[in-house]
Amino acid sequence: MQLSLETLRFIEENARADVRSLALQAKKYPQVDMAMAVVQIAGRQIAEAKVPSWYRTEGLLYPKHLSMEQCSSEATAIYKAGLVEGETFADLTGGFGIDCSFLSRKFKQADYVECQAELCELAKHNFPLLGLNIDVHNEDGVEYLKRMELVDCLFLDPARRDGHGGKTVAISDCEPDVSALEDLLVEKAKKVMVKLSPMLDLSLALKALKYVREVHIVSVNNECKELLLILEKSKESSEIVIHCEQIANTGEHQHYTFTQEQERTSDCPLSAEVDAYLYEPNASILKAGAYRSLTQTYPVNKLHASSHLYTSPYYIEDFPGRRFQVEAVSGFGKKELKTLLQGLEKANLTIRNFPSSVAELRKRLKLKEGGEDYIFATTLADDSKFLIQCKKHGYTVLLLCLCHLRLERQCIHTHLLDHSE
């Protein structure tokens, strides 16, 4: 896939431009392959945030917008690569090749399989530029699976859209259907990693598959991005270990592990009141349904069986989620609301087990979005409805430190004035 010098120069000069505006200017640049240029500029703009190591690599070519939107981020690809290693690896649904590029580094031999010829051409062009020696196969992944030799690890990322463009919730609706291929997959690989959409129903997937040994639920900046299933035939264990991973832009990782048996058998103490601190589990834990076991791992009590908010008189630094210091708790009486909202013009609203929507509540409370205050509308253990006003832990401490610093400066200034007189 070759681009003319004029097209390459245009891409470099318009790296930050609005691609929709560029697409309308094709007649002004007859020497430029505008369709290709727009695809490359859009691809690089997405890659800068999503796959920064690829963005920094000169000469890479990018596919059409849909493929870029659906591809893994660098953060999730690195996480997946940390779960596997061995001699031989094959990616049966190669796509743009981001997952394959990171996973393949953990193996001596790697094969990329993709039915779309255009994506295969891009892979052949890009992999060497990334320092990778990966064999590219332009063929159907299922047909390749049937005739391939045993490998240490197989990777699949089934297509998750139905025939009408909607997203699926059952693994059997994905293409290829992993539930139909499961026996063949575990015969051909010691370990199989299946990447699924967070939209899929995890409980249905686990019922449909018999060789799942691990589940990894990966979130980035508290947005659930991927469900990963690890299939293995050799291990004899009925317990599926569920790993909840939260990755932040800061590099911070939150990790929580539990089993379905632990969740089923755990007590779940409810709190009679809102204590000094409020805790909201991260997106991976909420997706996994680890609502009861959290109370056995951390000194917290749940506000209500269905509210999925927790409270404690203690600050728990390693709680896997958002941590808040409670400022006030209010019912919906006029006087209570007036006291709560006094001097408050904006706040971040969250609904947990509450009958109104965020939009409806914001209109009722007459609050703008944003600011340092957080208000949770929720139901407590006695089924009463309450608002909990909080600040992220550390913000109050920061304000106190700033006030203390300001007082110290005032004291020093006063002292200097006294001496000057």
346-352 β-sheet, strand order: 301-302, 310-312, 277-281, 321-330, 385-392, 368-379, 346-352
Show the domain range for 149: 73-238
Token pair for 158: 């089934």
Which pLDDT belongs to residue 401? 45
Q: Kindly report, residue by residue over 318-353, the tens digit of the pLDDT.
A: 999 999 999 999 999 999 999 999 999 999 999 999
Is residue 144 within 8 A of residue 94, CB to CB? The reply is no
Q: Kindly report, residue by residue over 79-103, the tens digit of the pLDDT.
A: 999 999 999 999 999 999 999 999 9
Co-location of 63 and 28 in the same domain:
yes
Co-location of 24 and 82 in the same domain:
no
Distance CA 265, CA 281 (A): 20
Confidence band of 249 (pLDDT split at 50, 70, 90): confident
pTM: 0.88
Share of the chain above pLDDT 90, in %: 79
Co-location of 205 and 112 in the same domain:
yes
Distance CA 199, CA 220 (A): 15
Q: What is the mean pLDDT of the chain?
A: 90
Q: Kindly report, residue by residue over 373-421, the tens digit of the pLDDT.
A: 999 999 999 999 999 999 998 654 444 444 444 555 555 555 555 555 5
Which pLDDT belongs to residue 235? 65
Co-location of 86 and 217 in the same domain:
yes
Which pLDDT belongs to residue 87? 98
pLDDT above 90 (res 104): yes
Distance CA 77, CA 155 (A): 12
Distance CA 177, CA 179 (A): 5
Which pLDDT belongs to residue 164? 55
Q: Kindly report, residue by residue over 166-220, the tens digit of the pLDDT.
A: 566 788 889 999 999 999 999 999 999 999 999 899 999 999 999 999 999 999 9
Residue-by-residue DSSP string for 171-195: GGGSBS-HHHHHHHHHHHEEEEEEE
Residue 421 domain-assigned (yes or no): no
Structural domain total, the chain: 3
Residue 248 domain-assigned (yes or no): no
Residue 203 domain-assigned (yes or no): yes
Which pLDDT belongs to residue 393? 81
Is residue 419 packed enough to be buried (19+ CB in 10 Å), middle (13-18) or exposed (0-12)?
A: exposed
- Tokens 């939009």 belong to 359
